[in-house]
Structure 1
Amino acid sequence: MTGGPDEGGAEVISDADRAPRWGGLRRPWVWGAGGVLLASALWAGGLRAWAVAHDGPPDLHGYALGDSPCAGDTLAPLTTALHAADTAAVSPAAARLGPALDQIRCTLSVGAPGGPDSTDRYEIFVTIDLHKRTDPRPEFEDQARVDATDLTPVESVRRVTGLGDEAVAQTLSRQSEELKVLHGGAVFTVTLTGYSTEYLSDDTLAALHGGPRHLSSDVGRFESALVDAMRNVMKAQQKPRS
């Protein structure tokens, strides 16, 4: 049973090949060989069925890169939950179309009222990877507990139902929460990072290379809004099937 369907069949030995040793009784090893052959045939059939089911490129479920996922009201569930006072794209969305992989990246900066001497700032980072040739599931599951920014283990990970084939919410730190979704050949990631920047003099800010960034509160409380925003991101990139 170590071989696949391409290997030659096992040698079959009948009673006519050698003299019987137990009189008229059929030797038990013949029945054993028959059972092995039957099991091998069933295994080979199952292998072929698995190959047919997994043959070809992964299903993209109608996803095709379109407008920036950071544009318009796509992330409105999250910016509303953050009580955003201002929003701005950090830079134009970066997109790449390749023979095996289509990708898009964008970041939205959000300002919200903070304490009396501070303002809360958040960054929403969105990535979409459309795998057109190979199934991304093994890599998705392998990286489900890893912070991609520094390759360290995440603080916690939770399964999320109702999104794609598989979805996980990851707490990278009190400062950062991430939601990852696998749907066929498509992988979506939305990461929320929060900061609180105190009002300081220009000289102090320059000395601190942009100013101190401290977490104002636990961003994990925005997980529900993160899920709703993810639904919008996925829907915006899905084209109706003909």
Structure 2
Amino acid sequence: MSTPPTPPQQPPDQPSDAPAQPTAYPYPNPQSPPPGGPAGFPPPTQQGVYAQPTLVGQPGQPQPGNPYAQQGPYGPVPVPPPGGGSGGAGRAVLWAAVGAVVASAAWAAGVFLIGKDSADLRGYSAPSNLCSGGDYSSFKDEYPENDTSPTHNALKAAALDEGYCSLSLKKTGSSYADAYLTVQMDLHKKTDPGPEFTATWKNYDDSHSGYDVESVNGIGDEAYLVTEDTTSGSSSGSRYATLAVRDGWMTYTMSYSAYLSSYDTDKDPPKLDEVTDWLKSDTKATLQNLKG
């Protein structure tokens, strides 16, 4: 039977009025057992050697090199520090660990909920029929005839709600469309459309030759007016204008297009300055109607 090593020699006792030395370790030094031997061991015998403890129901000897560890059925079992780990310091460490785990879980849950509910839709809703939910009154003086069969569709999905409408604009007495108006609203419920919206519309003239881009204030968070006029000196040109708006995670576009070939030879489509004013006025009215 091996003999446990002799515990390290204790330093001389300090005077009773000496203050306790501060330490970052909350438990007594395991290499300095308290007088009378460590918990679970009898007092030291002569020459400072501990007697072998009798452990009921557990085989084993104290581990070489560590007189305070007992051999359990699956390996060394450390003996708790003096007080059995149930003292104030032990409880403080335990509750600190539990508090850290609870705080981490609460933080993770908060981040998850914020991420889930972060879509900034500003109260907008996409109607099932944007043709009947939009405002096009500014175009009525120029195009008084109603389109009796406009094209519209809608999408409702977890990531995106969308409404679309396409109208034929007709002057009085016209059998066919003189111009066209298309409108689209998108509610982005999972991703922020801001960076891509800005890149697409602010820089539209970089990727589309012949178009002019103008920033518009006072509509949504950002808005851009894109125009093109190819009618100068031509009998087959066209006039085109789109107002694109982003308000939070809602994006909206209203586009007008007209072709000289659709008009009588003695008439021209309205000037783009007029059309852009109509687009701004009707876009503001439509967005106000679709905002809860």
Same fold (TM over 0.5): yes
Number of residue pairs matched? Answer: 168
1:112 Cα deviation from its structure 2 partner: 1.9
Question: Structure 1 residues 195 and 109 mapped into 2: Cα distance closer, same or farther (>3 Å)?
Answer: same
The code of the aligned residue for 2:150 comes to: S
8 Å CA contact 1:89–1:109 kept in 2: the answer is: no
Task: Quote the Cα distance in structure 1 between the aligned partners of 2:135 and 2:290.
Answer: 11
The equivalent residue for 1:190 is 254
The equivalent residue for 1:97 is 156
- 1:34-73 residue pairs with structure 2 within 5 A? 57-66=118-127, 68-71=129-132
The structure in which a higher percent of residues are strand is 1
User: Structure with the greater relative contact order (CA < 8 A, sep ≥ 6): 1 or 2?
Assistant: 1
1:89 Cα deviation from its structure 2 partner: 5.3
Pick aligned residue for 2:190 from 133, 153, 163: 133
1:113 Cα deviation from its structure 2 partner: 5.4
The equivalent residue for 1:157 is 213
8 Å CA contact 2:151–2:167 kept in 1: the answer is: no
After TM superposition, the structure 1 stretch with the greater mean CA deviation from structure 2, 67-76 or 101-110, is 67-76
Task: Quote the Cα distance in structure 2 between the aligned partners of 1:136 and 1:155.
Answer: 23
**TM-score in terms of structure 1 length:** 0.60
Task: Quote the Cα distance in structure 2 between the aligned partners of 1:119 and 1:93.
Answer: 19
Pick aligned residue for 2:204 from 121, 137, 146: 146
Give % identity.
25
The equivalent residue for 2:272 is 219
After TM superposition, the structure 1 stretch with the greater mean CA deviation from structure 2, 138-147 or 68-77, is 68-77
Question: Structure 1 residues 87 and 60 mapped into 2: Cα distance closer, same or farther (>3 Å)?
Answer: same
Whether 1:238 and 2:291 are equivalent positions in the alignment is yes
Pick aligned residue for 1:86 from 132, 140, 145: 145
Question: For the aligned residues, what is the CA RMSD?
Answer: 3.3
Task: Quote the Cα distance in structure 2 between the aligned partners of 1:232 and 1:67.
Answer: 18
8 Å CA contact 1:108–1:125 kept in 2: the answer is: yes
The equivalent residue for 1:210 is none
Larger radius of gyration: 2
**TM-score in terms of structure 2 length:** 0.50
Task: Quote the Cα distance in structure 1 between the aligned partners of 2:197 and 2:158.
Answer: 20
1:156 Cα deviation from its structure 2 partner: 0.9
Whether 1:181 and 2:245 are equivalent positions in the alignment is yes
The code of the aligned residue for 1:130 comes to: L
Question: Structure 1 residues 89 and 136 mapped into 2: Cα distance closer, same or farther (>3 Å)?
Answer: farther
Task: Quote the Cα distance in structure 2 between the aligned partners of 1:130 and 1:153.
Answer: 29
